[in-house]
Structure 1
Amino acid sequence: MSFDLPRNVILPVDAVDVRLVASPHPFERDNQTAIAENWRREMEMKPALYDGTVVLLSALSYRDHRLIGRCHAVKYSTFMLWRKNRELSGAEHAYAHAVLVAGDNALVAIRMGSHTVNAGRVYFAAGSFEPIDFRDGLVDIDFNMIREVGEETGIDLSGAARGQRYYALSTSSGTVIFRRFRVAEPADEIAQHIKTFVAAEADPEIEGPV
């Protein structure tokens, strides 16, 4: 299957069948020394980085409005080296964005904190898939979206109205899956809630709302 999906075009998605397998990702298995050396350099630049667990794809395809794929748990240090060696790596990255729509139809995004890898970048609150986001081996996209938004902003989207379907955009840097989540509160109220949450965090992931 490898990677077989249209690039640089928004795709309607009715189902996501991405499964986590127990075997090691070949990229991690074959690059242990380079991973360790790169991580040492990364930690020198950003000591707050944490070598947790994320997932990388070894296959992804698009058929009949479905995303079908296979992924493997890897160390974050593996992911950091992969970012610098995407071409011919046999690996790709997928992640999900909850598009937060306020009651006044404004979109509420966030700006990443200065200590993070994506410092200063603006996008909807999101994060890589982790093993906790899988149910019986199958990724739970909405769980990942709701979890990441809650961790970064303090907002609970579990009761929000959700768009009828997902959409995906696949580029050379990765595949993003997104879905609208609509809440009743106006954007200013949501932004103030996020600011209050960030101010109370000892080590917030984000600078604040945008």
Structure 2
Amino acid sequence: MTSPEIHRIATLELKVKPFAWPFAQARREEIDAHFAEKRRDRPGIWNGRVLLGRNAVRSGDHLSAEFFETDFASFLAWRDWGFPDTGVFNGFGMGAVRSSDGAFLLGEMGGHTANAGRIYFPAGTPDPDDIRDGAVDIAGSVARELAEETGLGESDYTKDGYWTCVFTGASIAMIRILRVALSGAALQAKIEAYLARESQPELRAVHLVRGSSDLVPAMPVFVSAFLAAQF
């Protein structure tokens, strides 16, 4: 993983195109065995379809890339084996929820998920449901993931007009600040109440970050880099 680069992006052009991923084809048996092993530890994960990116180009404040469909098992193996195909990246949106008193809210993933214990903004690898008119709708993906993980709907926040994109080589995190008219404490209480009502919430805890001293190793590098640039 390369050192993170941070760029402000105004427009995204993320077209979906067919692509036969050589990694997934050549290592099919290993991938399937790896996924079976993961499912023994976390039976709740399932081999759905996801979208990964390639051929990313940044021109000024515009980002373009091509996305293709693959199975979650192939994505998981690629991630767990250290991203052996460097021509592919995980491109995803994140909703950086910020309270009226300046705190960012992050979620800690539940033990039944593939990212158990990791702490980051509501997010998810895009899937075919996020395709609109032949392109990945990152804004729609963020809204969906935020609602699923926290219960916050689009009427609960206002969106900044640009994306902060953190490039790490293996990933491009497309982060948009979402501003909520609640204090950090009130926002945290609201989401904790939502999680308590869920039978199997994706998050097992929520955390407030008010400064660099609140950063912890459980946060991925793209989250820590984004947050460090805000304070």
TM-score normalised by L of structure 2: 0.82
The list of structure 1 runs, each at least 4 consecutive aligned residues, that deviate by more than 6 angstroms after superposition, is none
Cα distance, 1:89 vs. partner?
4.9
Change (3 A) 1:133 1:17: same
**In structure 2, C-alpha distance between the alignment counterparts of 1:36 and 1:178, rounded to whole Å:** 32
Alpha carbons of structure 1 residues 139 and 158: separation in structure 2 relative to 1, 3 Å: farther
Match of 1:15 among 11, 14, 17: 11
Give yes or no for contact 2:88–2:170 (8 Å, CA) kept in 1: no
**How far apart are residue 47 of structure 1 and its match?**
1.4
Q: Secondary structure at the match of 1:35?
A: helix
Deviations for 1:89-148, whole angstroms, at most 9, x for unmatched residues?
A: 532111111110112221111111112122111111111111111211112121111110
Q: 1:187-206, aligned counterparts within 5 Å?
A: 187-206=184-203
What is aligned with 1:172?
169
Measured after TM superposition, the shift of residue 20 of structure 1 is 1.3
Q: Measured at CA, do residues 159 and 153 of structure 1 come closer, stay the same or move farther in structure 2, by a change above 3 Å? A: closer
Within the candidate set 117, 128, 131, 2:128 is matched to 131
Structure 2 gaps of 5+ residues are 208-231
Return the alpha-carbon distance in structure 1 between the equivalents of residues 155 and 27 of structure 2: 39
When the two chains are superposed, the root-mean-square deviation of aligned CA atoms in Å is 1.8
Matched, 1:61 2:64: no
Mapping 1:20-169, distance limit 5 Å: 20-83=16-79, 84-158=81-155, 160-169=157-166
Measure, in 2, the Cα distance between the counterparts of 1:158 and 1:127.
Answer: 21
The gaps in structure 1 that reach 5 residues or longer are 1-5
Q: In structure 2, what residue type is equivalent to 1:11?
A: H
Distance 2:86 2:168 in 1: 15
> How many residues were matched structurally?
205
Match of 2:49, as an amino acid?
A: T
Residue 223 of structure 2 corresponds to: none
Taking the aligned partners of 2:126 and 2:155, their CA distance within structure 1 comes to 18
Distance 1:175 1:195 in 2: 29
2:205 maps to what in 1? 208
Q: Report the alpha carbon displacement of residue 159 of structure 1 after superposing the two structures with TM.
A: 5.4
CA apart distance, 1:26: 3.0
Cα separation, 2, equivalents of 1:148 and 1:7:
27
Percent identical among aligned pairs is 25
Q: State the 1:22 CA deviation.
A: 3.2
Deviations 1:51-84 (A, max 9, x none): 1111111321211221111111111111111111
